Structure formats: structure tokens, C-alpha cells
Amino acid sequence: MPNIVTNNLMFFLPMAFAGLVLFGEVPVASKFVRTVLRGIGALGGALIALLVLEVLPVLI
């Protein structure tokens, strides 16, 4: 079970937003595909935030 501290949860929103912006800027013609890419980016950013929050304490 991961040890998630509530203060660290504030890190998820900026990372999810960064993923949303990064994947949302991919030039595609379809509005549906752009929305799907934004969702994937937000989930990817949140997963990277979780990975960073769980791995950094182990490395220190």
C-alpha cells in the first residue's frame, strides 16, 4: 500500500495540468481526438506525479 501524504497531493494538480496542456497541443483535426489526448495527458501527468512522490523518498 503506498504511503500518500495529503500535503503531497497538491503536486498532482499541476502535473495533471501540465500533461493536459502538453498533450492538448498536439495538432489533430478531430475535436474528439484532442479531448482524448488531453485526458491521456492528465492521467499521465498524475501517474508521473505519483511515481515521483513514491520513488523520491526511497532514493533519499
Q: Evaluate whether residue 19 is within a structural domain.
A: yes
Give a yes or no: residue 60 inside a domain: no
User: What are the tens digits of pLDDT across the range 12-60?
Assistant: 788 888 888 888 888 888 999 989 988 998 888 888 888 887 787 777 7
- Which pLDDT belongs to residue 50? 81
Q: Does the model's pTM come out above 0.75?
A: no
59 class by beta-carbon count within 10 Å (0-12 exposed, 13-18 middle, 19+ buried): exposed
The boundaries of the domain holding residue 42 are: 6-55
Confidence of residue 8 (pLDDT cuts 50, 70, 90): low
| Higher pLDDT, residue 4 or 57 | 57
CB 12 within 8 A of CB 42: no
Give domain status of residue 1, yes or no.
no
